[in-house]
Structure 1
Amino acid sequence: MIEKFCHECGTKLTKKELENEGIVPFCPKCEAFRFPMYNVAVSMIVINKQTNKILLIKQYGKDYYVLVAGYVNRTEQLEHAVAREIKEETGMTVSSIKFNRTQFYEPSDVLMCNFTAFVENDVEFCPNGEIDAYRWFTYDEVRKNIRQNSLAAYFLNAYLDGWQNAIGR
């Protein structure tokens, strides 16, 4: 999504050539180029190391399962956001984190960064008010239960396909 107005002064942006960048939105009042702005979020494939199961959650009155996810705060490292969001939403402490991939989600102007986050067990599990329901799924069950044709399913399936290729399934 291209910004239409300057985020500093509110003036309508024009388009102007910028060397090595091409056509970029430009504020004639501030005399500054204004690159598109968007939000950054993290989504996590949460794996219980003790049971080798994956956590899916339902939120906001929706009747489908998705991955735990949340926005990254300004100046926050992605890995910190992963651990923070899991702690806030589930009460669990992350023991290790692995980056998977990213995908821009145009409907909400969000760069979604996906990780696998491992927890030792679910002893600390205490969902907050953002979680309506949850369930731990086996690797075989989880594909069938995540919201189909969603960004969460894309991340999960890519992770599982890599896992299955690694063990020769």
Structure 2
Amino acid sequence: MWIAESVTFGGSALDRAAPLRGDAPALADLQARGRIVPLWQGKPLIANGALAWVAPGSPVLAEATAPVFLGLEDGIGWFAQDISAWVPPEAEAVQPGFLDPSLQHHPSLPADHTFTELRAVMAQLSPRHAELAATARALLGWHQSHGFCAACGAASTMVMAGWQRSCPVCGAQHYPRTDPVVIMLVTRGNRLLLGRGTGWPEGMYSCLAGFVEPGETIEAAVRREVFEETGVQVDAVRYLASQPWPFPASLMLGCLAEATSDTITLDPAELEDALWLSREDLVQVRTGLHPCVKPARQGAIAHFLIENWLADRLN
């Protein structure tokens, strides 16, 4: 797709300045005058629909973990720090559910600066801010869940400006992981196959998706996942676009898959429902007029793929 990198979290061309990650003096200089994005329980700081940042020494960072280096913009360093140890007022506690709508406000910040669920604002962010937020969330989440060496079990330490963990006991080196996930536009003529997971909000349907297994190609993963979830057979598979998806650490691989059958046999362990929708049906969906199906969430690659299929921009 010629517009593939316009998907949310892609296309920013951030200078990640990898050679600086091991240069402690250069990083110290950059951090002293840099921009630090604090995240609380995976939520970035947002203000007026944009990613917000604080200066080094801000009271917000009083209980923060070590900074991770995200990259450079016009010579200015962007960093991220996890402040999940901070306890917000009880009234601002996280609200469980498919998407947490709660906002947390740190008393040292202006009233319009809140920690906000990234999925709720991802479509509003500029490409650069979206890439920075996704990178920060993925990296900090990895450090939070990978604090011990997978080889010997000892506590590991952050090195290389947050892009590596090192075990002081056995010397093993660990790197941020990314899990490949295929997500499919399964078509048959004028129709598209969509499904919904158990517990999803009412009316929410999306493209089928699943993790790529070890020893498996992207194409094989597409065919296997579609058949396992719906019993539909797929022949030709073509890659279209990708999207980093830091919830917690996936890379979504968008593909076009041509179905050779249309009978749906659901696996209830995988999906609550699946259905075929025509282009005419999907036009109703996108305008909010369909009686059963609601539009895909803006910012997600499923929405991106469906919109471009409807506009006949897949090439």
TM bucket (normalised to shorter chain) is: 0.7 to 0.9
| Residue 157 of structure 1, aligned match among 307, 310, 315 | 307
In structure 1, how many angstroms separate the alpha carbons of the residues matched to 2:162 and 2:199? 44
Structure 2 residue 157 is the aligned partner of structure 1 residue 14: yes
Equivalent position to 2:219, from 79, 94, 109: 79
Q: Report the AA paired with residue 154 of structure 1.
A: F
- Residues 133-161 of structure 1, C-alpha deviations (whole Å, 9 max, x = no match): 22222235436244222522133334545
* Runs of at least 4 residues off by over 6 Å: none
Q: Residues 45-97 of structure 1: CA distance to partner in whole angstroms, max 9, x if unpaired? A: 11013xx2111112213221111111111222121110001111111111110
| Aligned partner (choices 209, 222, 235) of residue 69 of structure 1 | 209
- RMSD, aligned CA: 2.5
Letter in 1 for 2:196: K
- Which is greater in Rg? 2
Does the 8 Å contact 2:179/2:211 carry over to 1? Answer: yes
- Work out the CA distance in 2 between the residues paired with 1:102 and 1:70: 14
Matched, 1:45 2:185: yes
Higher relative contact order structure (alpha carbons within 8 Å, sequence separation ≥ 6): 1
1:103-142 alignment to 2 at 5 Å? Answer: 103-122=243-262, 124-129=263-268, 130-142=270-282
User: Tell me, which stretches of 5 or more residues in structure 1 are unaligned?
Assistant: none
Partners of 1:61 and 1:150 lie apart in 2 by 21
Alignment correspondent of 2:234: 94
The letter of the residue matching 2:229 is: E
- SS at 1:87 equivalent: helix
The TM-score with structure 1 as length reference comes to 0.80
Identity %: 26
Distance change >3 Å, CA 146–CA 8, structure 1 → 2? farther
Offset of residue 102 of structure 1: 1.4
Task: Report the Cα distance in structure 2 between the residues aligned to 1:113 and 1:48, rounded to whole angstroms.
Answer: 20
Q: TM-score, normalised by structure 2?
A: 0.45
Unaligned runs of 5+ in 2: 1-141, 287-293
Do the aligned residues in 1 keep the contact of 2:264 with 2:274 (CA within 8 Å)? no
